[in-house]
Structure 1
Amino acid sequence: MTSFNQPQDFQSKFPAQWWSKLVAFVALINLVLVIFNVSYIPLRDVYIKHLPIVVKLYDPVKEIEPHPDTTHYIKTVEVLKSELSQSGLKSEQTDYILANLRQQSQSIIEENPYDVANKFGTFAKLKRRMEYHVETPYAQEAFTQFWSQDYLAKVGIVEALAFFDERIRPLLEVNYFRPVDENGQYVDNFWKLDIYFILFLGVDFLGRTLMISRRQPGVSWFDAMLRRWYDWLFLLPTWRWLRVIPVSVRVHKSGLFNLERILAQITHEPAAYLADRVSTFIMVQLINQAKDSVKTGDMARSILEPDPYIQVSEIDKIDAIIDRILQLSIYQVLPKVQPDIEDLLRHSLKGTLTKSDFYQGLQQIPGLKGLPVNVIDQLADYLANASYDVLSSSYSDAEGRELFNKLSDNFKSVLRQELQDEVTQSELQIWLFDLLEELKLNYVQRARKDDPERTLSEAEKLRQEEEERQQELPETGDGRL
């Protein structure tokens, strides 16, 4: 039966995971409110038409009030409707109300009460609709003619008031008045809602960074705050839209929502071309630095006359690497290629013996002229085996190892002296310089042919396959299935 007993560390992390999800959820709600607050003014006309309850609840947050001029205008029209229903069009009171509407219309056209709310388009639409309806090219004349007894009698009171309610009244209702503070900025009381989120997220930020500083030696509380720099954006009273950065991080890290696929798709093309640019830049920069080192002779001096440098241990890394390679060559590689080495030595020694003066002298001695060929073969085999045994045993023997090291040191010393020859260095520098230039040109040309997006897609595919493989692995007894 599978055990579902969770280890103590998992149980201790369980509340922390839920707390992270809770904080991420609160941060997400705050971001939604921030976006709503930023978009409220541009979308207020839509809310008035479709969700008037939202306007009723949120206008006090922005300290938005109905504009007195347009509100009074609408009320005057309502008084006109009531008077028309009681006294008719030709009454003295009706004529007075129409004169009042004509005067208010002139004031609205001249003073533009929409300027406070930055509704220039709505104001222009108001004038244009009345001009088209009355067929007059001037807004003041259009309103004056519309609010006259002759015009209302001509087109009909019902039709005229229906046009006003359907086409003019909505443009008057969306206008508003909004006070400004001593700095000339519109008064906005959103901070009264936002302060609770700032305090909550700020306390969480202090607690998280304090835990990080205690759990990680050498990391101060301030260092931990710098590492989580994005959480500082929660504390800014302005530029609140920047909170999308810490909210995205919190939501993704807490696992509240899986944003991996969304982030991958959003950053796919920019990341592909940025990675291509960066890799090309790094490669070209490294090659150019190597070329400069070759051209100035710094590379040759660093090889032939190395300066003392800081070591992480007392072991000479170069000698250790050479020693390890020799051990692998003698004890691992040579035994596997021993037949080939013996064949090569046998062939070389046999040819050398048959051509040597000693062998030619033996041919002149009576009785040894017909020295059998198999004797030469046996001698060559013996010398080949002996050479291989000498090579194998000399490295493991203490005295042989010392002689071998002496040979190696003398070889490196002589080679270093020969490489210091100016002619040799000049030739090697030219060849290395040209080789690096060819490498740079070919790399850049090849990089242009490759599609960075396809490379990034391959890397993303490998990452997804690795994640799927890890998920398919059976969990062990440490609390996993």
Structure 2
Amino acid sequence: MVRPRWQGLKPSPSRKFWQRWDQVLALIAAINLSWILFDVTYIPLRNFWLHRNLYLLPSTSLMVPLPWVPNVTPFYDVVKGIKPHRDTQIYIKHFSQLDQTAARQGINSPASQQLRLNQVELTTQLIDENPFVSSGNVGTLEKLKSLLRARAGMDSSKQAAAHLLGNKYLNNLDWQQERLFWTEKILPLIATNYWRSINENGQPVDYAWRLDTPFQLLFLLDILLRAMRLKRRFPGISWREALLRRWIDLPLLLPFWRLLRVVPVTERLSSAGLIQLEPLRAVISRGVVALLALELFEVLTLRIVDAMQEIIRSPHLPQRIRSLCSHQSVDKNEERELTELLRLWLPLILSEVGPSMRPQLLALFSHALQRSMDGVIVPAPLKGLTVIEKAESELSRQLAAGMIDTFLQLSRNAGDQLGRKDMVLEQLGVDTIDRFWEELARTLEQGPVLERSQELMVAFLEEFKRSSFRQLREQGGVNELISELDGLNFSEAKTTSQKQESGNKITL
């Protein structure tokens, strides 16, 4: 019993399993790609992950705090081989000691004064040595110096640091308010500095491959399983061809150029039905196909016209015409296409098409005979008489009918004769065609017509080539072609929807 079309074929349990497997692997590939993007951008965006502050404009101080974003730097710095820089850590620890001493004994106590002097020395040393070079944050020091100069209103950052931590400045201010400048502006900048380990190859240490290896092994297993499924479905295919069918998954196995994984991940998500890329693919392919179609048409037209011009310019044109003879252009074992085509079409035209046109041919010949008899059979003074005009019209109609009937009878007889398989008639037809090409070639060789004919035909083709390309340029490019396709598609969809609505109304 034939299954009705509206009853879908239920997938087998194994098919459901592999469908779920593909969806899970697609999600895992998407997770892996997300981690790759995070890993590649971690070093440039480390300051963001450290402070979780989003600057709307790099050149301004407009900042949006994101406290809900987790601080991943303590964990991921280990993956990238990042360690705290010794000089900046000493600076941060010393300031923390100063802050604690000031909280217990006061900012003007002897212990606090000594710690402030040490902090000024550390600031001067920090400005002179610039430890931010090792982490690539050269601009951080310049930003720190700008904050110190702006806070103290001085041109020298070293003098500004000594002034901000000096007795004269702090005697008139509350330390609890002043410390906010250091803890919220200066120390976060210093905390961005780090030191990165170097391996034996002279490259920065990066242990991301340890996290990526399980993903790569899983992807390799999936590729082998896909090849096995394809091999089971098509036993004739080789293992090499089955593996090459998954060439798009190669970036998933490469430890370098990892951003190329966006291609296989997108393909897996689309094939698993998790995302819909068909509209985007249709738009892109339509634009590419339209562009290639125009370029290809121009190239083909140019090549064909140039080839025809070369053939016409050739001094061997008569020999090429002579080569059209059937005994030179058709092999012995092949059918003579032109002769067979004429044998099929001539009987059809003579015995079927011609007799069907008898009324039109009769009217045409009758009118032509009546025009030719004007002033010849009937004298001019008698032309105005109605009886004479009717007699003349009837005479021309009868003569035309006799001629047409005789001609159509001959046409039917000739068509019947040509429709029969006649080897003598076929050979005579072939000889006639061969003789025509031979005489045409001989005539062109003997007379002065060849050179002039070549010039005229080449000029005609050149003008045809130029006018064709000019017309293509005037019609517009790819955008106009795509707009025309959109108009056809949308108008067809609109017409279909209108028909459906009208049908629904009639049904109601």
TM over 0.5, shorter chain? yes
Matches within 5 A, 1:40-55: 40-48=42-50, 49=52, 50=66, 51-55=69-73
User: Is the counterpart of residue 85 in structure 1 residue 106 in structure 2?
Assistant: no
Structure 1 pair 29–320 and aligned structure 2 pair: CA distance change class (3 A)? farther
1:221-241 CA distance string (max 9 Å, x none): 334444543221211111111
Partner of 1:391: 414
Partner of 1:129: 147
Contact kept in structure 1, 2:33 and 2:262, CA below 8 Å: yes
User: Is the counterpart of residue 229 in structure 1 residue 247 in structure 2?
Assistant: yes
What is the Cα deviation at residue 390 of structure 1? 2.0
What is the Cα deviation at residue 161 of structure 1? 1.1
CA distance in structure 1 between the partners assigned to 2:92 and 2:132 by the alignment: 15
Structure 1 pair 467–79 and aligned structure 2 pair: CA distance change class (3 A)? farther
Matches within 5 A, 1:30-41: 30-41=32-43
Letter in structure 1 aligned against 2:167: Q
1:100-128 CA distance string (max 9 Å, x none): 21222122212222222211222221111
**3-state DSSP of counterpart to 1:197:** helix
User: Is the counterpart of residue 408 in structure 1 residue 429 in structure 2?
Assistant: yes
CA distance in structure 2 between the partners assigned to 1:464 and 1:193 by the alignment: 50
What is the Cα deviation at residue 349 of structure 1? 11
Match of 1:70 among 61, 78, 88: 88
Contact kept in structure 2, 1:28 and 1:247, CA below 8 Å: yes
Structure 1 pair 207–106 and aligned structure 2 pair: CA distance change class (3 A)? same
Matches within 5 A, 1:239-278: 239-264=257-282, 273=291, 275-278=293-296
What is the Cα deviation at residue 275 of structure 1? 4.9
Matches within 5 A, 1:204-219: 204-212=222-230
CA distance in structure 2 between the partners assigned to 1:301 and 1:258 by the alignment: 61
What is the Cα deviation at residue 331 of structure 1? 5.5
Match of 1:444 among 469, 474, 493: 469
What is the Cα deviation at residue 417 of structure 1? 1.0
Letter in structure 2 aligned against 1:417: E
Match of 1:417 among 435, 438, 442: 438
Structure 1 pair 205–332 and aligned structure 2 pair: CA distance change class (3 A)? farther
CA distance in structure 1 between the partners assigned to 2:46 and 2:287 by the alignment: 36
Contact kept in structure 2, 1:346 and 1:381, CA below 8 Å: no
> Higher relative CO (CA 8 A, sep ≥ 6), structure 1 or 2?
1
1:359-397 CA distance string (max 9 Å, x none): xxxxxxxxxxxxx97996776355324312222211223
Q: Of Structure 1 and Structure 2, which has the larger fraction of its residues in helix? A: 1
Structure 1 pair 31–115 and aligned structure 2 pair: CA distance change class (3 A)? same
Letter in structure 1 aligned against 2:478: P
**3-state DSSP of counterpart to 2:251:** helix
Contact kept in structure 1, 2:362 and 2:404, CA below 8 Å: yes
CA distance in structure 2 between the partners assigned to 1:268 and 1:390 by the alignment: 55
Letter in structure 1 aligned against 2:25: V
User: Is the counterpart of residue 455 in structure 1 residue 455 in structure 2?
Assistant: no
Structure 1 pair 168–259 and aligned structure 2 pair: CA distance change class (3 A)? same
Contact kept in structure 1, 2:81 and 2:196, CA below 8 Å: yes
What is the Cα deviation at residue 38 of structure 1? 1.5
CA distance in structure 1 between the partners assigned to 2:331 and 2:24 by the alignment: 50
CA distance in structure 1 between the partners assigned to 2:492 and 2:275 by the alignment: 21
What is the Cα deviation at residue 133 of structure 1? 1.3
Contact kept in structure 1, 2:347 and 2:416, CA below 8 Å: no
What is the Cα deviation at residue 298 of structure 1? 7.9
1:31-61 CA distance string (max 9 Å, x none): 2221121122222222222324333343332
CA distance in structure 1 between the partners assigned to 2:437 and 2:368 by the alignment: 31
TM-score scaled to structure 2, two decimals?
A: 0.74
CA distance in structure 2 between the partners assigned to 1:428 and 1:227 by the alignment: 56
What is the Cα deviation at residue 218 of structure 1? 7.1
1:121-174 CA distance string (max 9 Å, x none): 222211111122122223233223333333322444233211112211221222
Flag structure 2 segments of 5+ consecutive residues without an equivalent.
Answer: 53-65, 373-393, 501-508
Matches within 5 A, 1:154-303: 154-212=172-230, 220-264=238-282, 273=291, 275-296=293-314
Contact kept in structure 1, 2:26 and 2:272, CA below 8 Å: yes
What is the Cα deviation at residue 452 of structure 1? 1.2
Letter in structure 2 aligned against 1:416: W
CA distance in structure 1 between the partners assigned to 2:348 and 2:93 by the alignment: 101
What is the Cα deviation at residue 348 of structure 1? 9.4
Letter in structure 1 aligned against 2:407: A
**3-state DSSP of counterpart to 2:203:** coil
Match of 1:337 among 348, 352, 357: 357
User: Is the counterpart of residue 21 in structure 1 residue 23 in structure 2?
Assistant: yes
CA distance in structure 2 between the partners assigned to 1:99 and 1:442 by the alignment: 88
CA distance in structure 2 between the partners assigned to 1:410 and 1:23 by the alignment: 72
Structure 1 pair 397–19 and aligned structure 2 pair: CA distance change class (3 A)? same
Matches within 5 A, 1:341-352: 341=361
Partner of 2:124: 106
Flag structure 1 segments of 5+ consecutive residues without an equivalent.
Answer: 353-371, 474-481
1:59-80 CA distance string (max 9 Å, x none): 3322323323222212211110
CA distance in structure 2 between the partners assigned to 1:192 and 1:327 by the alignment: 82
**3-state DSSP of counterpart to 2:415:** helix
Q: Which moved more, 1:128-137 or 1:232-241?
A: 128-137
What is the Cα deviation at residue 413 of structure 1? 0.5
CA distance in structure 1 between the partners assigned to 2:39 and 2:351 by the alignment: 76
TM-score scaled to structure 1, two decimals?
A: 0.78
CA distance in structure 1 between the partners assigned to 2:177 and 2:451 by the alignment: 100
Partner of 1:430: 455
What is the Cα deviation at residue 409 of structure 1? 1.0
Contact kept in structure 2, 1:342 and 1:384, CA below 8 Å: no
